[in-house]
Chains A and B, each alone.
Chain A
Amino acid sequence: MYDGGKIIAGLLIGLVLLTFPFWYNLGKAAKLPEPKLAPEAQKAKQCVESKEYMAAHHMQILNKWRDDVVRKRYRIYIGLNGKEFNMSLQNECMKCHTSKKEFCDQCHNFVDVKPYCWECHLEPKEAKEGK
């Protein structure tokens, strides 16, 4: 090989950079999210929509709820099986999913999402406990 030293050095740098995800995680056991359903949620049995739908779409529902309530003064959402819900994060969602730490944050931290819900809304309980 001509200029082998330089070429191999370049190859090695490239390989180290490109295999970043493989060696970065070495020895780190991935903590999988464990969103806990509060007893209130277990009693209610169903969410606004199906579980699968909520897992993928909840942020869009919340975004739409905000716009509907704040801009259009709609308050009622008709969900799964025609059940009516009050479009409110604090007064409806958090009634069942009582803990941000044990429910919301579990998955959000896992996929590195920091939603700005809490820039306006109050966090339940934990905020008080923190103080």
Chain B
Amino acid sequence: MSFNLAFYSALFGVLGLVGIALIGLGAHLQLVFGVIIPYVAVILFFVGMIRRVVIWGKCPVPFRIPTTSGQQMTSLPWVKRTLADKIESPSNNWWAALRVATEVLFFRSLFRNLKVNLTKDGPKISYFSSKWLWLGAIAFHYSFLVVLLRHLRFFTQPVPGFVHLLDQIDGFLEVGLPQVQISGFLLLIAVTYLLIRRIVVPQVRYISLPADYFPLFLIIGIALSGILMRYWFKVDVVAVKKLTLSLVHLHPKIPQEGIGWIFYVHLFLVCVLFAYFPFSKLVHMAGIFLSPTRNLPNNSRAVRHINPWNPVVKVHTYEEYEEEFREKMVEAGLPVEKPLEEKE
């Protein structure tokens, strides 16, 4: 697919979503955009996620894929294994769980990212550690997590203490009023970096599809509308919380005060993200836990792996064979493991 088609279809897709929200508000469909669509999106999200994971669960678990050496594990105790070795080449499920944790929390695989360089003066290849993708990814995911957790103040009453603490740490710069929250801007910067990387690096640009650009534009739209709402196009926060609380209390009600248009744009984009989540690459949120190279311990020598779709093979073991032909074997003078029983 050409770059232009992939890029612009995603961009105009997101702009179209903003347009839909604005047209809906113009037609006074607050109930649709404030209540019905959020509920539909949340249901789609949960049903979709469960469906996706169950589909994955039905796939046979592959044979262990040892991506590291050090499979001697515990059987050769004189081979020294550091903590890193134990995590990299786990001998049991607990160590494997730790390896998955390093992947989920620290993006271990991205940290390993290498850049290949072909020198011009000769056919020499050199590899460089390339951490930019890792840095962008970690900034993006963690700032998104903080933003998400901070939003709990709209969905809980009373608000749990950790949300307030997070709010204070996030706004410790004490710049402006409402105070600038670092995570929101960091999220926008990081997701913009990930987008620019996709456009600028030729190899990545070549393999990028609308499904790669669309979530990026969607999240940029969400972050941008959220920042604009918080600092510039102000809305009545009390009315917003009345609506969000009524949603989680399952007694939905559009507050009479009315909420500014930017809120509905923000909410609609978030709903689209939720509904889109299980059906797109974003579902790696659940999938990362099912990565076979990460979650299977390297015990292929210690534990026998039986292929689940092996056909049942009729076997005739030696014991059975001998049992059947023992008399004839003894007669012919062939050695047997169990002597003939003496007939009384």
The answer to whether A2 touches B60, judged by C-beta atoms less than 8 angstroms apart, is: yes
Contacts of A113 in B (CB 8 A): 237
The answer to whether A30 touches B236, judged by C-beta atoms less than 8 angstroms apart, is: no
The answer to whether B152 touches A21, judged by C-beta atoms less than 8 angstroms apart, is: yes
Contacts of B152 in A (CB 8 A): 20-21
Q: Which of B49-57, B69-77, B328-336 faces chain A?
A: B49-57
The answer to whether A59 touches B178, judged by C-beta atoms less than 8 angstroms apart, is: yes
- Give, as a whole number of angstroms, the nearest-CB distance from A52 to chain B: 7
Chain B CB within 8 A of A32 CB:
yes
Chain A CB within 8 A of B201 CB:
no
Chain A CB within 8 A of B164 CB:
yes
On whether A52 and B241 interact (CB within 8 A), knowing A21-B152, A21-B248, A112-B153, the answer reads no
Chain B: CB-nearest residue to A59: B177
Chain A CB within 8 A of B206 CB:
no
On whether A110 and B58 interact (CB within 8 A), knowing A20-B152, A25-B157, the answer reads no
Chain A: CB-nearest residue to B259: A56
What interface size band does chain B fall in?
A: 35 or more
Q: What 0/1 pattern do residues 88 to 111 of A give for CB contact below 8 A with B?
A: 000000000000000000010011
With A and B bound together, what is the CA distance between A11 and B248 in angstroms?
Answer: 21
Q: What 0/1 pattern do residues 1 to 33 of A give for CB contact below 8 A with B?
A: 111100100110011001111101100101111
The answer to whether A112 touches B234, judged by C-beta atoms less than 8 angstroms apart, is: no
Residue from the list A3, A7, A55, A111 in contact with B153, Cβ < 8 A:
A111
For window 223-246 of B, CB contacts with A under 8 Å fall at 234-239, 241-242, 245
- Give, as a whole number of angstroms, the nearest-CB distance from B301 to chain A: 21
- Give, as a whole number of angstroms, the nearest-CB distance from B291 to chain A: 13
Residue from the list B163, B176, B237, B245 in contact with A30, Cβ < 8 A:
B245
The answer to whether B163 touches A112, judged by C-beta atoms less than 8 angstroms apart, is: yes
On whether A3 and B61 interact (CB within 8 A), knowing A25-B248, A63-B176, A114-B164, the answer reads yes
With A and B bound together, what is the CA distance between A49 and B314 in angstroms?
Answer: 88
Chain A CB within 8 A of B160 CB:
yes
Contacts of A57 in B (CB 8 A): 234
Chain A: CB-nearest residue to B238: A107
- Give, as a whole number of angstroms, the nearest-CB distance from B65 to chain A: 15
The answer to whether A2 touches B57, judged by C-beta atoms less than 8 angstroms apart, is: yes
Chain B CB within 8 A of A60 CB:
yes
The answer to whether A7 touches B57, judged by C-beta atoms less than 8 angstroms apart, is: yes
The answer to whether A56 touches B61, judged by C-beta atoms less than 8 angstroms apart, is: no
On whether A52 and B157 interact (CB within 8 A), knowing A7-B53, A112-B164, the answer reads no
Residue from the list A2, A33, A63 in contact with B238, Cβ < 8 A:
A33
The answer to whether B249 touches A25, judged by C-beta atoms less than 8 angstroms apart, is: yes
For window 79-129 of B, CB contacts with A under 8 Å fall at none
With A and B bound together, what is the CA distance between A50 and B49 in angstroms?
Answer: 46
The answer to whether B60 touches A60, judged by C-beta atoms less than 8 angstroms apart, is: no
| Max chain B C-beta neighbours (<10 A), residue from A31, A56, A112 | A112
